[in-house]
Amino acid sequence: MFTHKIKYLYFALGVLAIGCQQQKTPIKTAEKSITIAIDDRVELLRVAYFLALEDSIDVDLKPCYTDFYQRNFEPYKKYKNHPLVQKIRTGDEWNADLPTIALCLDKYLQPKDSLPQKELIQQFGWYGAHLDSLSKLLIDFKKTIKFSNSYNVNFKPFLDAITASQIPEKLHQFFRTDKKTNLHILFDPLNRITNKAITFTNNPKNERLFLITYLCDQPNDTVKPLHLRWNEDYRRIVIHENTHMYTNEFFSKYYDNTFDSIVHQEKFKDTYHDIDEIMVRGITAKILALNYGKSVGDEEIKHQPKLSKMVYDDLERYTTNNQMPFEKIYKVIIDDLRTHFLTADNE
Ligand SMILES: [Zn+2]
C-alpha cells in the first residue's frame, strides 16, 4: 500500500544538496582517491525505515536477505511500534533516501550547526524541518533497540577491483585533464532502492560523496552471505559520479537563471528537464562506449532520458577531434539543449 509513494531510482542518481559536514567515519582506503565505509547513523535510520515499510512494499524493493540482514535487522523486528517507526509508517513526506538525512546529525545524533534548512525541507519535508524532533526520536530508538554497529564487512575486494578498473585514468583521458578527484562511497547494505549522490556544500571542491545500494543478484528468498562485488552497475555509478565532478563547474557556468526558467515552464512539467543529469547521463554512456564497446554505450543510453541521447550523439564531435577541450563541447551541447527547450512545445 505504500509502494506508490516510494520515489526510487535504480542507478539513476540524483543530486542531494545538503550542507552538513561529513562526520569522520572509519573509512578504509585502497588508494587515496576512493574510499568506502558504512555510516552507522544512516544504517540506524535505515533500520527504522524498513521496520516501518518492509511489510508493505513490493518484494523487489525489500532489503536483500543476507547474513548482514540477519545480524543487523532481524533482531530489531520486535520494535516495530517505536514512535520513530510509527512516524515513518504514517508519514506522507518521505523518500527512499530518507536515511541519508542522518548525515546531518553528529555522532551523538544531535543536529549539526549551520544546516541549510531550505534545502533540507525541500528534500526531506517534515524531517528536514524538524531535525530536533528526528534527533530525539533517533536517540531514543538507538537506546531502545540496543543498536549495534559492529558490521565487519570486507571492502578490500571491491576497492581492489575499482583500482584495477583504472577508472580515474580512463576519466582523465576522456576529459583531457589531470584533475584529481576523491570519491567517498557510503555503502548501505539494507538498501536496494536508491543510489544517491550527496553533495555537501562544504566538501572540498573535488570531493564527491554518494550512497550505494546492495543488490541481490539471485532470488531473494534464502539467506546469502553479503559480498560486495564490483560489477557493471557499480562501474556505471562510479563513472557517473566522477563525471559530475568533472562537469560541475561547467554546469554552474553555462546553466543560468534564464535556462532554468525555460525548463521550468508548465508545459515541460512532464518532461525530464534536469539538465545536469541529462548531460551527465549522456557523457557516462559515451565513456562506457569508448572504454567497453559501442554496444555497451548504446545499451546504456537506451535506459536514459531521451535528451541524453542528444548529448551522447553530440559528443561524437568531441571524440573525433582530439584538439578540442572538453569545456568547448560542453558549451555546444548545453546550447543545443537550450535551443531544444526554446523550440519544443512539449514532449
Ligand atoms: Zn547524477
Q: How far apart are CA 345 and CA 207, in angstroms?
A: 38
Q: How far is the CA of 70 from the centre of ligand 1 (A)?
A: 32
Phi/psi-derived region of residue 286, left when phi > 0, alpha when psi is between -120 and 50, beta in every other case: alpha
Q: How far is the CA of 78 from the centre of ligand 1 (A)?
A: 37
Lowest mean pLDDT segment, chosen from 86-95, 292-301, 304-313: 86-95
| pLDDT value of position 203 | 62
Q: How far is the CA of 178 from the centre of ligand 1 (A)?
A: 22
Q: How far is the CA of 288 from the centre of ligand 1 (A)?
A: 15
Residue bearing cell 544504517: 43
Q: Are strands 34-37 and 182-188 parallel, antiparallel or unpaired?
A: parallel
Q: How far is the CA of 244 from the centre of ligand 1 (A)?
A: 6
- Please write the tens of the pLDDT for every residue from 194-248: 887 786 445 666 777 888 999 887 888 899 999 998 999 889 988 998 898 889 8
Q: How far is the CA of 14 from the centre of ligand 1 (A)?
A: 5
Q: How far is the CA of 176 from the centre of ligand 1 (A)?
A: 21
Q: How far apart are CA 29 and CA 17, in angstroms?
A: 25
- Please write the tens of the pLDDT for every residue from 244-292: 888 988 999 999 999 999 999 999 988 899 999 999 999 999 999 999 9
Q: How far is the CA of 196 from the centre of ligand 1 (A)?
A: 8
Measured in residues, the chain has a length of 347
> pTM of the full predicted structure?
0.78
Question: Which residue type, as a one-letter code, is found at position 319?
Answer: T
Locate 259 and state its grid cell. 535556462
Q: How far is the CA of 65 from the centre of ligand 1 (A)?
A: 28
Q: How far apart are CA 198 and CA 205, in angstroms?
A: 13
Please tell me whether residue 14 adopts helix, strand or coil conformation.
strand
Q: How far is the CA of 182 from the centre of ligand 1 (A)?
A: 16
